[in-house]
Homo-oligomer: A and B are copies of this chain.
């Protein structure tokens, strides 16, 4: 009777009302599995992005929470704020077609895509400016190491 797959770091072994093949995972496991910290998971919960079950006060994450976390991480990767992610997730309705949710996601995505492209342009600009400056500096350094004895000061 394990909470998670065997071989993993599982210390406590509470008797959890695992009626069917429900896989409950505690916060430590969850964090390791997705490469986030405990703090992060609690933070996401505090922000209403996650809603794990509880066994007393212990958080228990199901595959539903895992799916949500994956979405959060994807959202973050593409540059959405947690607020945006929440807005989109809050529209999810397991009984409907979620057309509204999808439309909002698409709308936000288009705007985010535009932001990303603008950002890339800014970065390209910065790279160019920086490269130019570096050339100038290198040139100045060369003049300071090769010219001294050739100038009128010698």
Residues of A within 8 A of B (CB): 74, 77-79, 97, 99, 102-103, 105-106, 109-110, 112-113, 116-117, 119-120, 123-127, 129-131, 133-134, 137-138, 140-141, 144-145
Knowing A99-B144, A129-B77, A141-B99, the reply to whether A124 touches B120 (Cβ < 8 A) is yes
B116 touches A134 (CB 8 A): no
Tell me the smallest distance from the CB of A36 to a CB of chain B, in Å: 18
Which of B106, B126, B141 is close to A79, meaning CB atoms less than 8 Å apart? Answer: B126
Knowing A113-B130, A116-B126, A131-B113, the reply to whether A138 touches B106 (Cβ < 8 A) is yes
**Can you list 6 A-B contacts with CB-CB less than 8 angstroms, sorted by A residue number?**
A78-B126, A79-B130, A99-B141, A113-B134, A116-B123, A116-B130
